[in-house]
Amino acid sequence: MTDAPDLRQRLIEAATQLFAESGYDGVGLREIAKRAKANLAMISYHFGGKDGLYEAVLREGFLRCPSKLSQLERPLPDPAAPDARALAIEGLRVHLQSAVMDLQLGLAQDPLDRAFMAVVLRELAEGGPRLEALDREFMKPHFEHLANCLGILRPGLSDEDRVSLGLAVIGPVLACALLPGLFRLRNDGRPFPADGQAFAEFMLDHTLRALGVEGA
């Protein structure tokens, strides 16, 4: 991991960790080079500059993560099917578990993946120019799957209310990922959630109760 074979990879790993900790403006290239046990000039040579390195961090992260993202199968419920509601409920469960996994709330073992997700969340929060690409890559698939399931379980909402409902379901997971320090405080210093699976189940149960659906 830290002793990756080639320099390029070491630089990307070091940069991912440091950007995750301190943000783009908070780290210098010298520090990154030092952590990667590489020479400063190698950053310009391999990536063309700090911006190029940052983009490489995101690009390589994209390439590395999709295979890990949504490892759980996520069947799209067919509204016309006779068991549509049951499928939607199962879809909702898979969606929540998947979101909790993706956002590294306790299931991700690889520190590099955790750091990468922190970079992504930081970028989403800043609302910068890369927001649309990140949304398309990370958030949109989840939101669409979520919207499908919710549309079956609660049809006929206004546009505004549909967004609100989606937010009511996924918001807790997002908030938890965006404010890890705060929820550590809320949980007496222990990381929260302690058990990602149980957390996802709790949120699923909460959502199903709100939707007036009997839990599967």
- Which residues in this chain contact DNA in the complex, by CB under 7 A? 6-8, 27-31, 38-46, 48-51
Nearer Cβ to DNA (4/157): 4
Residue 2 vs 187, nearer CB to a second copy: 187
**What is the contact mask toward a second copy in residues 105 to 124, using x (rule: CB under 8 A)?**
-----------------x-x
DSSP for 73-111, please give it.
Answer: --PPPPTTSTTHHHHHHHHHHHHHHHHHHHTTSS----H
The yes or no reply on residue 133 touching a second copy (CB under 8 A) is no
Q: Work out what residue 163 binds among a second copy, DNA, none; the CB cut-off runs from 5 to 8 Å by kind.
A: a second copy
Q: Of these partners, DNA, a second copy, none, which one is at the site of residue 2 (CB under 5 to 8 Å by kind)?
A: none
Structure tokens at 188: 């007496």
Taking residue 115's Cβ as centre, other Cβ atoms within 10 Å add up to 23
Burial (CB count within 10 angstroms: exposed 0-12, middle 13-18, buried 19+), residue 188: exposed
Residues constituting the chain: 216
Write the single-letter amino acid at 142.
H
Tally Cβ neighbours within 10 Å of residue 73: 7
- Residues engaged in binding a second copy (CB under 8 A): 22-23, 25-26, 122, 124-128, 131-132, 135, 139, 143, 159-161, 163-168, 170-176, 178-183, 185-187, 192-195, 198-199, 202-203, 206-207, 209-212
